[in-house]
Amino acid sequence: MRIHSVELIPLRLPLVTPWHTIGGELNDRDVLLVHIETDGADGWGECAAFSTPFYSPEFVESALIVLRDRLAPLLTAASAVTSSGLSELFAPVAGHRMAKSALEMAVLDAELRTEGRSFAEFLGSERTVVPAGVAVGFQDSPSALVDAVAGYAAAGYRRVKLKVEQGRDLDHIEAVREQFPALSLQVDANGAYGRDDLGHLARFDGFGLSLIEQPLDAEDLVGHAAVAERLATPICLDESLVSLHSVETALALGACDVVNLKPGRVGGYHEAKRIHDWCVERSIPLWCGGMLETGLARAANIALASLPGFTLTGDLSGSDRFFRDDIITEPITVVNGELAVPTGAGFGVELDLDAIKHHRLG
């Protein structure tokens, strides 16, 4: 297919409640959308980067520059583009995986809409629903955390992930576990601990957690191997895994037992599918991570998570978890603890152009 134009649309979407995380508090989700016009259907993509580089080196403005000045020109200059050929087309640009993933999404959406196929069908998925899981940000006290978890449990969420760091961990997890003895519970440290904290982390083993996510720095695979050796609770990596190669390396070193797969972080859905297939062959449990996506990437992630290798519940919640006013026309809703896999062409959601106009930055 030929790409006629690439439009970059920065948005600021207010969050339903502030999100307290490593490195601060978010009141809004700044997000960059990509809209392409082709000789077939239009396509839409979404960049996972946040407004500041607190989670990964990329951020909205860096992605905007890379997309505008580096990636989009490669795309519009090519005489024939396929989503599966983009990693080669984008090879002159090192890194910037979230920016690349946003453009890949738009091309994939356009391809599938042109063919009238859904993303789930393209992936070869057979499930019609996936379980809904929720991530809960830091709360001021264990009791506030228990209240927040109670709300999500009542809304039907099948598993809950808590953020943890030194000083906001043992008593917070304990309070939730005491109140919800049977809840499927996991924790995410976003690299908040160090190699000296192994003894402290070992105390997490008493809470019946399904996993501990990214306890140490993203680059410290050797340290993670030591944590995995010491703890009975499975270790999952997030920030450390940026490609199939890094997944292979982490597994080879014994740095993790479980993979959190985020398409934006690994450069797109094609690489995500390769990682999925590699993990399935080796029986490595996978789940789909979340980046406070709008309904667009959320819909795509739900389809991805319907593949058989996703044996654990992901950070996949309804639109109302984060946004009062999402940018898709039909919100994504949790029904009986599950989310429906979209069946429409492309990612299967329609963009609300008025909402996009309303929230557009600049």
Taking residue 153's Cβ as centre, other Cβ atoms within 10 Å add up to 18
3-state secondary structure of 349: coil
Residue in the shown chain whose Cβ atom is closest to ligand NPG: 290
Helix H, strand E, coil C: the string for 115-168 is: HCCEHHHHHCCCCCEEECEEEECCCCCHHHHHHHHHHHHHCCCCEEEEECECCE
The H-assigned helical ranges of the chain are 60-66, 72-77, 86-89, 97-115, 119-123, 142-154, 170-179, 198-202, 221-230, 244-252, 269-281, 295-304, 353-359
Report how far residue 162's alpha carbon sits from residue 172's, in angstroms, rounded to the nearest whole number: 9
User: Which residue number, 109 or 188, has a Cβ lying nearer to ligand NPG?
Assistant: 188
Q: What does the radius of gyration of the chain's CA atoms come to, in whole angstroms?
A: 20
Residue 100 annotated as catalytic: no
- Give min distance, CB of 2 to ligand NPG, in A: 34
User: Which residue number, 190 or 306, has a Cβ lying nearer to ligand NPG?
Assistant: 190
| Residue tagged active-site, from 100, 161, 163, 273 | 163
Report how far residue 204's alpha carbon sits from residue 210's, in angstroms, rounded to the nearest whole number: 11
- Give min distance, CB of 353 to ligand NPG, in A: 24
- Give min distance, CB of 16 to ligand NPG, in A: 12
User: Which residue number, 109 or 293, has a Cβ lying nearer to ligand NPG?
Assistant: 293
User: Which residue number, 104 or 293, has a Cβ lying nearer to ligand NPG?
Assistant: 293
Give the chain's largest Cα–Cα span. 60
Cα–Cα separations (whole angstroms), residue 4 to 33, 37, 38, 151, 269: 17, 5, 5, 46, 22
Angle subtended at Cα 68 by Cα 65 and Cα 72, rounded to the nearest 5 degrees: 140
User: Which residue number, 49 or 112, has a Cβ lying nearer to ligand NPG?
Assistant: 49
- Give min distance, CB of 39 to ligand NPG, in A: 34
User: Which residue number, 21 or 125, has a Cβ lying nearer to ligand NPG?
Assistant: 21
Report how far residue 271's alpha carbon sits from residue 277's, in angstroms, rounded to the nearest whole number: 10
Q: Which residues bind ligand NPG (CB under 6 A)?
A: 21, 50, 55, 135, 188, 190, 238, 289-293, 315, 317
Residue 273 annotated as catalytic: no
Task: Please provide the distance, in angstroms rounded to a whole number, between the alpha carbons at the two ends of the chain.
Answer: 30
- Give min distance, CB of 135 to ligand NPG, in A: 3
Closest CA to 11 of 34, 43, 39, 40: 34
- Give min distance, CB of 322 to ligand NPG, in A: 7
User: Which residue number, 48 or 110, has a Cβ lying nearer to ligand NPG?
Assistant: 48
- Give min distance, CB of 289 to ligand NPG, in A: 5
φ/ψ of residue 304, rounded to 5: -60, -45
Instruction: Tell how strand 286-288 and strand 43-47 pair up.
Output: unpaired
| Residue tagged active-site, from 161, 262, 273, 357 | 262
Query: In the 8-state DSSP scheme, what is residue 33?
Result: E
By annotation, the residues acting in catalysis are 163, 262
